[in-house]
């Protein structure tokens, strides 16, 4: 709230109402407390109220339980990140209180469960403490047998009161959540919610009211990145997929397994990662682009088959929800360390397409683009999201589904003859005819991983290997020539240009906003098409003294992160430097700003 | 899921039918593609010839079948057949073939594999494709040796077999493919030998007609690296070709398992055959139920309904 509070700062007594344009609320507890549910309700409420919203969560990679947080930033204006520091911390336990008080702004409000948290005197002057025995009041509200289940909903009531949230809308959301369950479950939830809401307002130091949203009237949908990818694939016409469960990819396969049958499609859970990509390739070969996906080690296992897709020129979409690596690494943390495997994973010269969506909305539209690139260029597409974008919730304008949904049923019209790997094809782009298609001259193609002639039959010809290798490269160069240059955020000339990819778009832009507000010359540009890169980036780079590539991966042996190394190799530009981190958490804007300053001092 | 492969096949994807009303069956010449690269005398020639014969006999058309393989001598198969085909990764023919089978009910999928491809590097897929009962025909051409890489021990090499990786003789107990198939839930398990052409044809045909995962374990001698491996099963070489006893109940899993356990050369023919819903049929059932709630809606309208709940 700090920068944007339009009312007085939070110093007053009870019942004071401040008008605010945004707020960051961090809820800290254990993973089984349903804190993600509170965050989800708040995010969806924001979506229904035409506000912008972004969330951030951490989950333990243990089987059950463990500390977990959910942070939600709601704004009436543009929201680019989940926020560096919270305005309000809701702490359920002593460890939540002690572990997260540092993420609270000075003079921010810590709302704690007095049944479990003993405030520390040294912090009481720095933060506004509001203690409410949430656990016991929940039991009181719901009845003795409920233990403290439902305290998350009680806390939602408190937050609703504090931020003067729309009660009928929230009640409706709670109702939708418990549809189909025993009515007593909903009744208990609503009882807890109302009890929280009715909790004496004098206990709350202050209440807030959001200013009206700037984007009035827009219908919004609210979802996380994994959901957006899954529904984007469905909109794109994908009707077959195969995968093996692995965090944080699993949500996507669960959604597709559940949803595809409605469209006559199937998603198959396979025995392993290799079978998954193989089955997806079989389905792609059989007619329409299929999907597989994974995270971490699962992607490593798929690389041999990915190479086959390059060689056989088979369309395929591989979703890679990146997590911390290498090996089993940090399954529930964020990292952007799979760019190299995306670009180069596997043996041999194996050019493929690499795309990286910038936010949740982009996950939806870029999934469609991925499918269309795979189809048009007969090439596998590695789609790099990450744990952060996968689990964060955003609200975005509802897509015009009638327009964006496509039918990619294969055309099985007989053809006179067919050269699957025609060297004379425009830009070297292969178009396979699908099984079921009669080829009237009686010569049928083989999709193959061996180097081959134009009909897909094996060859050891040095000349053909050179020609086919070039063919597989040229079609991506042709794709590169069609890609638009990314827009520069901020002035096109200046001192520092931040270059980002994937989920870092928001933090980079906010870093630009804050730096410029402080008088520093910083702009940013965001790459969504990483292989091939759009042509002409050098013209953007030439407008700046320093190019800092902001990535969540290691600076590497030679001091450059994975994208920075690619850009240096391509542009031979010594101005290109890396800003990297490997703590497994999303970028805080202040971290980026500090690292810019550090780099500039060098 | 039952489908006719001969006249007017069932087509669920909008496949335009060729204009010709009366289409002749294919001749061997029309089916044969590249000249096989196998060594002279290889058992695989026989299996290829019988595959051609099957296509001729059953009037299968080029475009209605797909021939899929992994890596190995046997797996060169698709290049020798004029039909849509794929030469996939070592060991992974079955999941690839499953992708075709599950997404294209109008096609019949034939997978050809070898002992190393099916039971060693692809062992996991053999198990799971069998237990899921994915509709396809799998012919494993077993020569009990790695031939393409020139004589290393294979998972079916008998104990004591001298190879370049076991110069003192194989020490690992071999896999019994038929036993394994029965144990993991295959619904059709048969044994045959390339040295008995009529039996191979009969067995492949029965496997093709089986609505489910049809597994044919076919002995196929490698004259180069394991000559005489199957003499004991070849009457012309002084062996015996014992067919499965007429009294055997092919639906009796235990009896089938016992029969499969017999010492080499064992029994040839259908050891086990049961009718169980295929993976294909189960998935179609799931789809039918899911789609029944959205009758008359276009795909975008179904997605719209989902989005309504995300507001």
Going residue by residue through chain B (311 aa), what tens digit of pLDDT does each one get? 334 344 433 333 333 344 456 789 999 999 999 999 999 999 999 999 999 999 999 999 999 999 999 999 999 999 999 999 999 999 999 999 999 999 999 999 999 999 999 999 999 999 999 999 999 999 999 999 999 999 999 999 999 999 999 999 999 999 999 999 999 999 999 999 999 999 999 999 999 999 999 999 999 999 999 999 999 999 999 999 999 999 999 999 999 999 999 999 999 999 999 999 999 999 999 999 999 999 999 999 999 999 999 98
Q: For residue A177, how many other CB atoms are within 10 A of its CB?
A: 16
Q: Enter the tokens of residue A88.
A: 């309000």
CATH topology for A2-218? Pyruvate-ferredoxin Oxidoreductase; domain 3 (3.40.920)
Of A288, A405, A410, the CB nearest to B300: A405
Q: State the CATH architecture for A488-601.
A: 3-Layer(aba) Sandwich (3.40)
Q: What CATH number should be reported for the domain holding residue B87? A: 3.40.50.970
Give the C-alpha distances (Å, rounded to integers) separating A137 from A91, A145, A198: 15, 13, 11
Surface-to-core class of residue B231, CB atoms within 10 Å of its CB (0-12 exposed, 13-18 middle, 19+ buried): middle
- Co-location of B159 and B303 in the same domain: no
Where in chain A is CATH 3.40.920.10?
2-218
On whether any CB of chain A is under 8 Å from the CB of B255, the answer is no
On whether any CB of chain A is under 8 Å from the CB of B123, the answer is no
- Co-location of B86 and B221 in the same domain: yes
Q: In this structure, are strands B84-87 and B108-114 parallel, antiparallel, or unpaired?
A: unpaired
Number of domains in chain B: 2
Q: Enter the tokens of residue A211.
A: 């200013």
| Alpha-carbon radius of gyration of chain B | 21
- Co-location of B295 and B266 in the same domain: no
pLDDT at B20: 53
- Strand, coil or helix: A129: strand
- Which DSSP state fits A114? T
On whether any CB of chain A is under 8 Å from the CB of B246, the answer is no
For CA atoms B294, B295, B299, B300, give the dihedral sign: negative
Q: Using an 8 Å CB-CB cutoff, list chain B residues near A231.
A: 303, 306-307
Q: Using an 8 Å CB-CB cutoff, list chain A residues near B293.
A: 262
User: Residue A153 and residue A178: Cα distance in Å, rounded?
Assistant: 12
On whether any CB of chain A is under 8 Å from the CB of B56, the answer is no
Which residue bears the tokens 């076919």?
B218
Residues 12-41, chain B: which have Cβ within 8 Å of A? Answer: 13-16, 18, 30, 33-34
**CB under 8 Å to A59, separation ≥6 — which residues?**
A31, A36, A68, A332, A391
Judged by CB atoms closer than 8 Å, whether chains meet at B99 and A240 is answered as: yes
On whether any CB of chain A is under 8 Å from the CB of B254, the answer is no
Is ipTM over 0.85? yes
- Co-location of B288 and B244 in the same domain: no
Query: In a mutagenesis test of the A interface, which of B95, B111, B113, B284 is the best target, namely the one with the most A β-carbons within 10 Å?
Result: B95
Query: In a mutagenesis test of the B interface, which of A273, A285, A397 is the best target, namely the one with the most B β-carbons within 10 Å?
Result: A285
How many contacts (CB atoms, under 8 Å) link A and B? 207
- Co-location of B105 and B194 in the same domain: yes
State the pLDDT confidence band at A181, using cuts at 50, 70 and 90: confident
State the pLDDT confidence band at A65, using cuts at 50, 70 and 90: confident
| Phi, psi angle pair for A89, to nearest 5° | -115, 125
Which residue bears the tokens 């109302």?
A194
Helices (H), A143-209: 151-162, 167-177, 183-198
Of A275, A402, A414, the CB nearest to B128: A275
How large a percentage of chain A has pLDDT more than 70? 94
**CB under 8 Å to B24, separation ≥6 — which residues?**
none
Of B64, B79, B102, the CB nearest to A266: B102
Judged by CB atoms closer than 8 Å, whether chains meet at A278 and B95 is answered as: yes
- Share the mean pLDDT of chain A: 92
Multiple choice CATH, A222-394, 3.40.50.970, 3.20.20.70, 3.40.50.460, 3.40.50.720: 3.40.50.970
B61, part of any domain: yes
User: Residue B23 and residue B29: Cα distance in Å, rounded?
Assistant: 16
> How distant is the Cα of B16 from the closest Cα of chain A, in angstroms?
6
Which residue segment(s) compose the domain that B311 sits in? 278-311
Peptide bond into A532 cis (omega under 30): yes
pTM score: 0.94
B253, part of any domain: yes
Where in chain A is CATH 3.40.50.970?
222-394
Judged by CB atoms closer than 8 Å, whether chains meet at B92 and A268 is answered as: no
Q: In this structure, are strands A240-243 and A266-269 parallel, antiparallel, or unpaired?
A: parallel
Judged by CB atoms closer than 8 Å, whether chains meet at B103 and A259 is answered as: no
Of A266, A274, A285, the CB nearest to B100: A285
- Co-location of B248 and B101 in the same domain: yes
Judged by CB atoms closer than 8 Å, whether chains meet at B103 and A266 is answered as: yes
pLDDT at B95: 98
Query: In a mutagenesis test of the A interface, which of B299, B301, B308 is the best target, namely the one with the most A β-carbons within 10 Å?
Result: B299
């Amino acid at each position: 709230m700090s920068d944007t509070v339009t009312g007085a700062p939070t110093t007053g007594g009870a019942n004071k109402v401040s008008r605010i344009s945004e707020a960051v609320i961090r809820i800290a507890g254990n993973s089984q407390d349903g804190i993600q549910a509170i965050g989800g309700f708040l995010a969806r409420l924001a979506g229904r109220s035409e506000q912008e919203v972004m969330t951030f969560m951490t989950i333990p990679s243990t089987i059950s339980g463990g500390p977990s947080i959910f942070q939600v930033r709601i704004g009436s204006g543009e929201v680019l990140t989940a926020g560096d520091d919270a305005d309000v911390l809701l702490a359920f336990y002593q460890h939540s209180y002690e572990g997260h008080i540092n993420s609270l702004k000075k003079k921010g409000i810590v709302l704690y469960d007095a049944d479990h948290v003993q405030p520390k005197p040294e912090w009481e002057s720095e933060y506004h403490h509001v203690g409410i025995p949430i656990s016991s009041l929940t039991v009181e509200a719901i009845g003795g047998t409920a233990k403290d289940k439902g305290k998350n909903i009680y806390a939602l009531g408190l937050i609703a009161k504090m931020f003067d949230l729309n009660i009928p809308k929230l009640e409706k959301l709670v109702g939708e959540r418990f549809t189909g369950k025993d009515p007593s479950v909903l009744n208990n939830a609503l009882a807890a919610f109302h009890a929280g809401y009715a909790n004496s307002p004098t206990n709350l130091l202050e209440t807030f009211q959001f200013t009206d949203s700037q984007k009035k009237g827009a219908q919004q949908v609210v979802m996380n990145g994994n959901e957006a990818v899954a529904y984007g694939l469905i909109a794109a016409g994908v009707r077959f997929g195969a995968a093996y469960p692995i965090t944080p990819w699993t949500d996507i396969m669960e959604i597709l397994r559940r949803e595809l049958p409605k469209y006559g499609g199937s998603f198959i859970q396979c025995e392993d990662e290799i079978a998954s990509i193989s089955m997806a390739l079989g389905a792609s070969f059989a007619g329409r682009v299929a999907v597989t996906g994974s995270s971490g080690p699962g992607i490593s296992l798929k690389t041999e088959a990915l190479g086959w897709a390059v060689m056989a020129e088979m369309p395929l979409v591989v979703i890679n929800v990146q997590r911390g690596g290498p090996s089993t690494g940090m399954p529930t943390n964020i990292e952007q360390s799979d760019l190299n495997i995306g670009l180069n994973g596997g043996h041999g010269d194996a050019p493929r397409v690499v795309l990286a969506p910038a936010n949740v909305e982009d996950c939806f539209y870029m999934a469609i683009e991925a499918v269309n690139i795979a189809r048009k260029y007969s090439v596998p597409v590695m789609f790099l999201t990450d744990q952060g974008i996968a689990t964060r919730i955003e609200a975005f304008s509802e897509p015009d589904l009638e327009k964006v949904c496509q039918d990619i049923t294969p055309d099985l019209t007989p053809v006179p003859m067919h050269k699957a790997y025609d060297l004379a094809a425009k830009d070297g782009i292969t178009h396979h005819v699908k099984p079921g298609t009669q080829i009237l001259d009686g010569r049928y193609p083989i999709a193959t991983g061996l180097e081959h002639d134009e009909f897909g039959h094996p060859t050891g010809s040095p000349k053909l290997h050179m020609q086919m290798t070039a063919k597989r490269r040229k079609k991506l160069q042709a794709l590169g020539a069609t890609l638009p240059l990314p827009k520069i955020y901020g002035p096109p000339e200046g001192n520092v240009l931040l270059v980002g990819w994937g989920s870092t778009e928001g933090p980079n832009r906010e870093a630009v906003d804050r730096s410029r507000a402080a008088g520093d010359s910083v702009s940013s540009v965001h790459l969504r098409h990483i292989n091939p890169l759009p042509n002409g980036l050098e013209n953007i780079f030439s407008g700046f003294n320093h190019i800092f590539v902001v990535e969540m991966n290691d600076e590497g042996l030679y001091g450059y992160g994975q994208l920075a190394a690619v850009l240096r190799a391509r542009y031979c530009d010594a101005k290109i430097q890396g800003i990297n981190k490997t703590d497994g958490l999303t970028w805080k804007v202040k971290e980026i700003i500090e690292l810019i300053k550090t780099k500039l001092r060098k | 899921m039952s489908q006719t492969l001969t006249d007017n096949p069932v087509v669920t994807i909008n496949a335009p039918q060729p204009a010709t009303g009366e289409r002749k069956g294919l001749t061997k010449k029309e089916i044969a593609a590249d000249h096989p690269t196998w060594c002279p005398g290889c058992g695989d020639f026989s299996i290829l010839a019988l595959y051609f014969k099957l296509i001729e006999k059953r009037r299968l058309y080029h475009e209605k079948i797909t021939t899929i393989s992994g890596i190995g001598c046997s797996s060169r198969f698709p290049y020798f057949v004029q039909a849509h085909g794929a030469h996939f990764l070592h060991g992974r023919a079955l999941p690839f073939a499953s992708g075709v089978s599950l997404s294209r009910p109008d096609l019949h999928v034939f997978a050809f594999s070898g002992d190393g491809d099916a039971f060693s590097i692809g062992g996991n897929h053999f198990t799971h494709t069998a237990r899921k009962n994915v509709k396809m025909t799998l012919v494993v051409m077993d020569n009990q040796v790695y031939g393409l890489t020139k004589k290393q021990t294979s998972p079916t090499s008998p104990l004591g077999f001298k190879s370049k990786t076991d110069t003192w003789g194989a020490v690992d107990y071999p896999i019994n493919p038929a036993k394994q198939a029965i144990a993991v839930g295959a619904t059709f398990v048969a044994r045959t030998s390339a040295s008995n052409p009529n039996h191979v044809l009969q067995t492949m045909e029965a496997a093709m007609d089986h609505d489910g995962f049809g597994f044919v374990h076919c002995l196929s001698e490698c004259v180069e690296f394991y000559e005489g491996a199957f003499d004991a099963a070849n009457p012309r070489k002084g062996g015996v070709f014992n067919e499965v006893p007429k009294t055997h109940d092919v639906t009796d899993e235990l009896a089938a398992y016992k029969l499969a356990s017999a010492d080499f050369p064992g029994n040839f023919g259908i050891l086990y055959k049961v009718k169980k819903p295929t993976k294909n049929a189960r998935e179609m059932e799931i789809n039918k139920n899911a789609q029944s709630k959205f009758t008359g809606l276009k795909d975008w309208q179904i997605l719209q309904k989902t989005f309504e709940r995300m507001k």
